[in-house]
């Protein structure tokens, strides 16, 4: 009897221990459902332009899907269901491939390279990790399809640039406007062409080629991080009579804003709402520059990052191939905030009417400055 009782007690203890163990296993953290990585381009976080817009897309994913950005100095955290992480390249960008490969080896489900200069790196790394997905902002990799593990995320920059061109044309006071490009590549010529077409569309006085000033900062990637050159170009254009200058030059745009402040002229930013960013700065110098930023052409890298991450989280995969974001899906646009609204209010209805015509196809925007002359001849 005593032996039977001891056996029964032992059995009860074993069951209790196993039950506790199962509860502990059930309660143990299982880790994030998905891991999404971003590798910024030259300039990194804090460029107040392209990379910062990508970072904002990460924050949107974290907020919407209870995620956190790992190792982030700003401690962005809304939960532990989605892990996000960004890496920044060396100043020359020579370690892009190594950074992507590091994230792939850590088991990230989706990795996005911010900028066309990731094209070669993503092509190589994606081939070595066929079960993980890769995205590239502004890059083009041929022969992709829906089953590919790469998605090229591009934008109709010429459409958004047409709108800020219309703003410049409507607000010009001197009979001249300018454009400053970063690196002299086809992508930046999309901004250039759309901008000049928009200027010409609303202002017949600016259809004379002599009224349109344009110059690029250089022919290598460093042209996107060269404020001194942009400042020199801008001062030259302002001194020639330009009332407004638009830049598509990444971090070099800071030089344009300094020149606009120093000469009391107007500038147009790019990618992010640069007027709002500068106006919200702790720097008195940047706050002063903000007063001269009329608007910015919004290139919604944040939306592209968010929507791509959303597809992964909601469906478990990302469609390969090509996705262009334009005016119709808020991929591009122009910035309106509490600091510039009063300036833009008198013309916003006209600009938004033009936006509707682009979306409907009534206005076909040239996607290269080399096509503007032919477009103008067919339009006017």
Assign domain 34-156+302-328 to a CATH class.
alpha beta
Instruction: Output the pTM of the full model.
Output: 0.82
- DSSP bridge pairs for 297: 270, 334
- What's residue 43's pLDDT? 79
The CATH topology of domain 157-298+331-379 is: Rossmann fold (3.40.50)
Report the C-alpha gap between 255 and 235 in whole angstroms.
Answer: 9
Query: Sorting pLDDT into bands at 50, 70 and 90, what band is 29?
Result: low
Assign residue 322 a region: left if phi > 0, alpha if psi is -120 to 50, beta otherwise? Answer: beta
Q: What is the 3-state secondary structure (H, E, C) of 118-163?
A: HHHHHHHHHHHCCCCEEEEECCCCCCCCCCCCEEEEEECHHHHHHH
Q: What is the pLDDT of residues 246-284, one digit of tens each?
A: 999 988 999 999 999 999 999 999 988 999 999 999 999
Angle at alpha carbon of residue 201, lines to 182 and 257, rounded to 5°: 35
Outline which parts of the chain fall under CATH 3.40.50.2300. 34-156+302-328, 157-298+331-379
pLDDT of residue 46 exceeding 60, the answer is yes
- What's residue 24's pLDDT? 46
Q: What is the pLDDT of residues 196-207, one digit of tens each?
A: 999 999 999 999
**Residues 234-239, mean pLDDT to the nearest whole number:** 98
């Amino acid at each position: 009897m005593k032996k039977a009782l001891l056996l029964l007690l032992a059995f009860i203890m074993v069951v209790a221990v196993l039950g506790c163990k199962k509860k502990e296993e059930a309660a143990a953290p299982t880790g994030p459902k998905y891991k999404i990585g971003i590798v910024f381009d030259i300039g990194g976080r804090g460029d107040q332009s392209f990379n910062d817009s990508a970072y904002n897309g990460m924050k949107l994913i974290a907020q919407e899907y209870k995620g956190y950005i790992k190792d982030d100095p700003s401690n962005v955290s809304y939960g532990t269901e989605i892990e996000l992480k960004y890496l920044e390249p060396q100043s020359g960008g020579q370690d892009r491939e190594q950074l992507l490969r590091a994230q792939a080896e850590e088991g990230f489900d989706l990795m996005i390279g911010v900028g066309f200069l990731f094209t070669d790196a993503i092509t190589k790394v994606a081939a070595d990790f066929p079960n993980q997905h890769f995205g590239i902002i502004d890059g083009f990799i041929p022969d992709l399809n829906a089953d590919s593990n790469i998605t090229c995320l591009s934008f109709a920059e010429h459409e958004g640039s047409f709108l800020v061109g219309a703003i410049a044309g409507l607000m010009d006071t001197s009979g001249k406007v300018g454009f400053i490009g970063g690196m002299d590549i086809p992508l930046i010529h999309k901004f250039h062409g759309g901008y000049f077409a928009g200027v010409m569309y609303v202002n017949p006085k600016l259809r004379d080629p002599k009224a349109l000033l344009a110059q690029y900062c250089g022919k290598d990637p460093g042209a996107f991080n060269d404020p001194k050159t942009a400042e020199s170009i801008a001062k030259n254009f302002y001194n020639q009579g330009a009332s407004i200058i638009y830049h598509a030059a990444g971090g070099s745009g800071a030089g344009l804003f300094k020149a606009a402040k120093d000469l009391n002229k107007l500038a147009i930013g790019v990618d992010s709402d640069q007027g709002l960013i500068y106006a919200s700065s702790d720097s008195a110098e940047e706050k002063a520059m903000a007063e001269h930023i009329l608007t910015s052409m919004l290139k919604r890298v944040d939306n592209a990052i968010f929507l791509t991450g959303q597809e992964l989280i909601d469906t478990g995969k990302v469609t390969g191939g090509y996705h262009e974001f334009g005016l119709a899906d808020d991929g591009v646009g122009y910035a309106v905030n509490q600091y510039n609204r009063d300036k833009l209010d008198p013309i916003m209805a006209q600009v938004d009417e033009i936006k509707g015509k682009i979306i409907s196809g009534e206005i076909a925007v040239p996607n290269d400055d080399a096509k503007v002359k032919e477009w103008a001849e067919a339009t006017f």
